[in-house]
Chain A
Amino acid sequence: MLYPGRMTVADSHRAVEAVWQIESARVIAALARMVNDIGLAEELAQDALVAALEEWPRKGVPDNPGAWLTLTAKHRAIDQFRRRDTYQRKLQELGRDMELRQESAEAELDDALDDHIGDDLLRLIFTACHPALPVEGRLALTLRLLGGLSTAEIARAFLVPEPTVGQRISRAKRTLADKRIPIELPPPAELPARLASLLEVIYLIFNEGYAATAGEDWIRPSLCQEAMRLGRVLVGLMPAEPEVHGLLALMEIQASRIPARTARDGTPILLLDQDRSRWDRLLVRRGLDALRRAEELGTLGPYGLQAAIAACHARTLTPQATDWERIAALYRLLAHLTPSPVVELNRAVAVGMAYGPARGLEIVDSLRDEPALRGYAHLPAVRGDLLAKLGRAEEAAAEFRRAAELTRNVRERDLFLERAAAL
């Protein structure tokens, strides 16, 4: 029996799967280093899971389940290589003698578990987020290999059919194999770009969930949790990278608002209208801690700056007390680092709050011909808000109606139309 007590077969299978969720990424990572093929590593790890599902419910969970899974999968790898006629070729590819490896497998396992686990995991994450892969492939592969999510769960989370996710994953694995992308840490010269690609994937996972918190299906918001979990894992693996802490800070502070950002009927509640007592204090505290670590490590990057902006709100008990001058200054830094019309639009809001609507409007007007903002509902919405504050009601109403036409979000459309009608 797995754990003595009142456990059914289904219970014990779920318990094995929980161990799998905790250990799978590290098992796959250790195997990937051994066989130098992510797809094969995952298959072997899955075989080990099947073995665990057979054995653990009878014999109990071994003391070190991660080591058990890794060792079992390694033995399968050796068996497979033996059977395959590609044995010799694989051996040459690996440049190592598998027979010898089998004898030393136990010793090597300790080695693998103690010294390389961190590096193995990092190699796996960097490979899954390799820029040679299309973004959706990176997302699916990361959730699958690092999150232990099934294809069905990923499909549900991204609202796409299961076969589509399956194809994305297999195509991504094939691309890695075809392009002979080595499973290794990026060379120092490539690190900044590769790290950016990795952080982007995690933040995309987060936003996919964050954008959907009004939905009925809670697996989507659970993507926020998965992204934060990956962020926390990454902080453990790369504790010296300020942007890793910065991203975690940003996600935790944003997620702290989830309990307050929708009304009971699902209507979104804007940041300044939220009941701040409903913000998740634990996430706020953790987010601020992560931001402080990012600041201590060096200059803030784009994620760190966005976290610093979010922190301005998180630290403030009432919206009236918000330090808009600081937020406007942080947006200026962010615009300098990552120039974008959307950042400028956000800066316009902050400037309008800090220095009066006329100053904000100047910035918005300079963005009106920006091609990237054509069709972007928030441009007229921000302009409408500033015009309303300046007492130019008719122009403001027209802007809100324009914003209502542009948005594809029904709830947001209602909100804009309400504002137009109220003027």
Chain B
Amino acid sequence: MRYLVTLKVAAQPDGPPPADLMEAIFKLGQEATEAGALLDNSGLAPSSEGARVEVSGGRLTVSDGPFAEAKEVISYALYEVRSKEEAVEWTARFVKLHRDLWPGWEGQADVLRLFGPEDFAPPA
């Protein structure tokens, strides 16, 4: 089963992320890839470079970023794993790196299951 993990930042110290953190993230990504769990991932540019397309009250609006939310989505990862717990474990390792290597950083990762063929199986 596949899980999409999005990482959102709530607060972070000024300046770029520490080199140690970036290196540790790279290493963990490699490990998860070699474990056959990580299928795809990428960092995301700030929402100031993005846009939002919205429907509300029957009206379609397009607005440029940045978005008003307190939390910016800064990366995503796509895992193929055998259980939700396994996706949570990889995510916990990832978030732990931020805690340990970038003091003052706060944020959250959401772990969401993708629908797969098993969800559309014929009734048994």
Q: Which of A14, A15, A22, A266 contacts B35 (CB 8 A)?
A: A22
What residues on A are CB-neighbors of B122 within 8 Å? 216, 262, 264-266
Query: What separation, in Å, do the CA atoms of A19 and B33 have in the docked complex?
Result: 16
CB pair A282–B78 under 8 Å, yes or no, is yes
In the assembled complex, the Cα of A221 lies from the Cα of B121 at a distance in Å of 11
- B33 and A232 contacting across the interface, CB-CB below 8 Å: yes
Pairwise interchain contact B85-A232, C-beta atoms closer than 8 A: no
Which one, A15, A216, A218, A264, contacts B89 given CB within 8 A?
Answer: A15
Which residue of chain B has its CB nearest to the CB of A65? B89
A232 touches B36 (CB 8 A): yes
A229-270 residues with Cβ-Cβ distance < 8 A to B are: 229-233, 236-237, 258-259, 262, 264-266
A221 B36 Cβ-Cβ under 8 A: no
Residue of B nearest to A258 (CB): B117
9 residue pairs bridging A and B, Cβ less than 8 Å apart: A18-B85, A19-B89, A221-B117, A228-B36, A231-B36, A232-B34, A233-B35, A259-B120, A265-B122
The answer, yes or no, to whether B64 is at the interface (CB within 8 Å) is no
Given A15-B88, A232-B36, A236-B33, A21-B78 contact (CB < 8 Å): no
Q: Are B88 and A18 in contact (CB under 8 A)?
A: yes
Would B121 and A21 count as touching, CB distance under 8 A?
no
- Cβ of B83 under 8 Å from chain A: yes
In the complex, are the beta carbons of B35 and A225 less than 8 A apart? no
B86 touches A282 (CB 8 A): no
A17-B80 in contact (CB<8A): no
Q: Which residues in B have some Cβ–Cβ distance to A below 8 Å?
A: 33-37, 39-40, 78, 80, 82-83, 85-86, 88-90, 92, 96, 116-118, 120-122, 124
Q: Is the CB of A218 within 8 A of B118?
A: yes
Cα–Cα distance between A231 and B36 once the two chains are bound (Å): 8
Q: Given the known A-B contacts A232-B34, A259-B120, A265-B122, are A15 and B82 also in contact in the complex, defined by CB atoms under 8 Å?
A: no
Q: Within the complex, what minimum Cβ distance (angstroms) separates B73 from chain A?
A: 20
For the residues of A in contact with B, the DSSP-based class is helix
Partner of B121, one of A3, A17, A218: A218
Taking a contact as CB atoms under 8 Å apart, the answer to whether A18 and B89 are in contact is yes
20 further A-B contacts with Cβ under 8 Å, apart from A21-B83, A265-B122, A286-B39, are A14-B83, A14-B85, A15-B85, A17-B83, A17-B85, A18-B85, A18-B88, A22-B37, A63-B96, A213-B117, A216-B122, A228-B36, A230-B36, A236-B33, A236-B34, A262-B122, A264-B120, A264-B122, A266-B122, A282-B39
Q: How far is the CB of B2 from chain A (nearest CB, A)?
A: 9
Please report the C-alpha to C-alpha distance between residue A225 and residue B117 in the assembled complex, in whole angstroms: 12
Query: For the complex, is A46 an interface residue (Cβ under 8 Å from B)?
Result: no
4 smallest CB-CB distances across A and B, nearest first, come from A236-B34, A18-B85, A229-B36, A232-B36
Chain A residues with CB under 8 A of B40: 282
Q: Is the CB of A229 within 8 A of B124?
A: no
Asked if A222 is at the interface (CB within 8 A of a chain B CB), the reply is yes
B78 surroundings in chain A (CB, below 8 A)? 282
Q: Which residue on B lies nearest to A25, using beta carbons?
A: B35
Bound together, the chains give a CA A332 to CA B118 distance in angstroms of 36
Cβ of A233 and Cβ of B39 under 8 Å apart?
Answer: no
Q: Please, which residues of chain B bring their CB within 8 A of the CB of A236?
A: 33-34
| Complex: A423 Cα to B120 Cα, angstroms | 33
Please state if B86 and A21 are interface contacts (CB–CB under 8 Å): yes
**Given contacts A221-B118, A258-B117, A265-B122, A18 and B83 within 8 Å (CB-CB):** yes
A3 contacts B33, CB within 8 Å? no
Chain B hits for A63, CB < 8 A: 96
- Least CB distance from A2 to B in Å reads 10
Distance A264 CA – B122 CA, assembled complex (angstroms): 5
Write the A1-17 contact mask toward B (1 if CB under 8 angstroms, else 0). 00100000000001101
Contact with B along A38-71 (1 / 0, CB 8 A): 0000000000000000000000010100000000
Residues on B with C-beta less than 8 A from A229 are 35-37, 80
Q: Closest Cβ of chain B: how far from A10's Cβ, in Å?
A: 11
The contact of B92 among A3, A231, A286, by CB within 8 Å, is A3
B86 touches A22 (CB 8 A): yes
Residues of B within 8 A of A19 (CB): 89
- Tell me the minimal C-beta distance from B112 to chain A in angstroms: 16
CB contacts (< 8 Å) of B121 on chain A: these are 216, 218
Q: Are A259 and B117 neighbours in the complex by a CB distance under 8 Å?
A: yes
Give Cα A345–Cα B78 distance, bound, in whole angstroms.
39
A286 to B78, CA, bound (A): 13
| Assembled-state Cα–Cα distance A225/B120 (Å) | 17
Residues of B within 8 A of A3 (CB): 92
A252: shortest Cβ distance to chain B, in Å? 10
Q: Looking at the complex, which one of A222, A237, A258, A264 makes contact with B82 (CB distance below 8 Å)? A: A222
For B92, the chain A residues whose CB sits under 8 A away are 3, 61
The residues of B that contact A231 with a CB separation of less than 8 Å are: 36
CA A222 – CA B118 in complex, angstroms?
A: 9
How distant is the Cα of A63 from the Cα of B88 in the complex, in angstroms?
15
Does A22 contact B89, Cβ atoms closer than 8 Å? yes
Which A276-310 residues sit within 8 Å CB-CB of chain B?
A: 282, 286
